[in-house]
Amino acid sequence: MRLHVPWIMILIGGFSFLFLTLTGSDSPVRASVGAAAIIGSTVNPLDTTLNPASFDLGSVGHGQKELLSFELINNSASPLEITNIRPSCGCMKMTTSTRFSIEPGQKQEIRFSLSLGRGWGNFSKKIDIYGAENRRLHTLPVKAMFHPGVRTDAMELVFTTSKKDDIPTAKTRLVFSASGGRTSPVLTDLKSSDSRISFQLPQRDDATGQTTLSVQAASNWPTGRFSAQITGLCNGLPFIVPVRGQAFGLLVHKPHSWNLRQIQVSGFSPETLSLKRADGLPFKILDMRLEWTREIEGLDISLSNTPQKDGSVLIKAFASEPIPRINKGFFGNVIITTNIPEESRVSIPLMGVVSPQRKGQR
C-alpha cells in the first residue's frame, strides 16, 4: 500500500491541475468582468448636462409663485437611470415624475413649482438629482433676492387689545430701512385684510433712509386670539406683514400663555404671570386653581400671588418635592377668580416640561 500512495496522490494532483486549468478562467474572472460592466454602465455626471445649470430669479417680492422647468441631457452612450429628484425646501414641489430613464443622446424635461415666502434678503435653495445606487449626479441651485436693499425691524406685528380701554400695546409701528445710502423705501397699494387693523400714511425720511408705518388694532376684537395681514408694494415689489394678537376684556394677562418651560428641581419657576386691569385700577384675586388637561402623576404645582405698585398682580408657580422622575410635558389652565363683577373669572393656558436633573447635574 505504501508503494501505491504516491501514485494516487500524483493522479489526484494531476486531475486537480487539469480542473483548475479548464475552469480557472471562468468564475473569478467572470465576476470581475460583471462588476466592471456594471461600473462601466453607470453614467458619469460629466456625461450629463442640466439646461439651465441654475436659476437666478433676481429681485422678487413676497408670495410670488413660479412654474419653472429644466432639461436633463444624457450625453453618454449608456441609458441614464434617475431614481430621485429631491428639493431642499417644501416651497418647491416637483410636478413631473422623479423616477425615469433617459436613452443615450436624449433629454428629459423636469418641471417644478416654486412658492416664495415673505423673507427679506437672500433666498437660496437647491434641487438634488440622484442616479443609480442613490448617487447624486447634479445639484441645481435656485436663488433669488427678496426686496434687495430693504430690511424691516420685525417680521410680524403683535398686539394686545382690550374691549374696555385703549392700551399702549394696541399700537405699534414697522420700520422699513434702505441700505447702502439709498433713499427711503416707497410703500404703495397698502391694504389690511381686516378693517380692525388700520394704519396711517407711511412717513418717509430720506435723511435716515427709513420709512415708518404706524399700525393700530381696534378694541372690538372678540376675546381670544386674532390674526390678519397687511399687504402692499415696497419699491414696486409685493410685501406681506403678518399680524397677530390677543384680545382681552377688562383683565389683561402677560404672557398670553404661561409657559413654565423646564421643571428640574423643586422651587419657584422663574417664569411668572402678570394680571392687570386695562384701566389700571387695583383689584383682588379671590381664588386660583389648576385644571389639568394633560397631567403628570406626582407633579404638585401650587400658585401664589402678590399685588404690585402699578395695580397689577404677579403670580408665581411653585413645584413641590418630589419631582417625578420622568421627561414629559404637561398642559392645563389656570382658573382665576377676582372681585371684578364684569370679569370675575379668567382662564389662562399653562404648559411646561418635567425634566428632572440627573445625578451630579447642577
Domains of the chain plus CATH, in order, are 45-146 (2.60.40.10), 150-248 (2.60.40.10), 251-354 (2.60.40.10)
How far apart CA 170 and CA 98 sit, in angstroms, is 50
Going edge to edge, which strands form the sheet with 237-248? 157-162, 237-248, 224-234, 187-192
Tens of pLDDT along 124-170? 999 999 999 999 999 999 999 999 999 999 999 999 999 887 888 99
Tens of pLDDT along 68-122? 999 999 999 999 999 999 999 999 999 999 999 999 999 999 999 999 999 999 9
The distance between the two most distant Cα atoms of the chain, rounded to a whole number of Å, is 123
The pLDDT of residue 2 is above 90: no
What's the mean pLDDT when you consider all of the chain? 88
Predicted pLDDT of residue 55: 98
Rg for the chain, CA atoms, rounded = 35
How far apart CA 106 and CA 71 sit, in angstroms, is 10
The pLDDT of residue 7 is above 60: no
Residue 22 to residues 5, 15, 19, 26, 29, Cα–Cα distance (Å):
26, 11, 5, 8, 13
pLDDT band at 361 (very low <50, low <70, confident <90, very high): low
Top pLDDT among 66 and 45 is at 66
Nearest to 318 by CA among 347, 352, 285: 352
The pLDDT of residue 309 is above 60: yes
Q: Are 129 and 139 in contact (CB under 8 A)?
A: yes
Predicted pLDDT of residue 359: 61
Which range, of 27-31, 157-161, 265-269, 331-335, averages the lowest pLDDT? 27-31
Predicted pLDDT of residue 362: 53
* Sequence letter at residue 189: D
End-to-end C-alpha distance for the chain, whole angstroms? 85
The pLDDT of residue 272 is above 90: yes
The reply to whether the predicted model has a pTM over 0.75 is no
Tens of pLDDT along 181-207? 789 999 999 999 999 999 999 999 999
Residue found under cell 489526484: 12
Mean pLDDT, residues 338-356: 94
The percent of residues above 70 in pLDDT, for the chain, comes to 86
Mean pLDDT, residues 331-355: 96
pLDDT band at 356 (very low <50, low <70, confident <90, very high): confident
Task: Give the SS3 label for residue 72.
Answer: strand
Predicted pLDDT of residue 164: 81
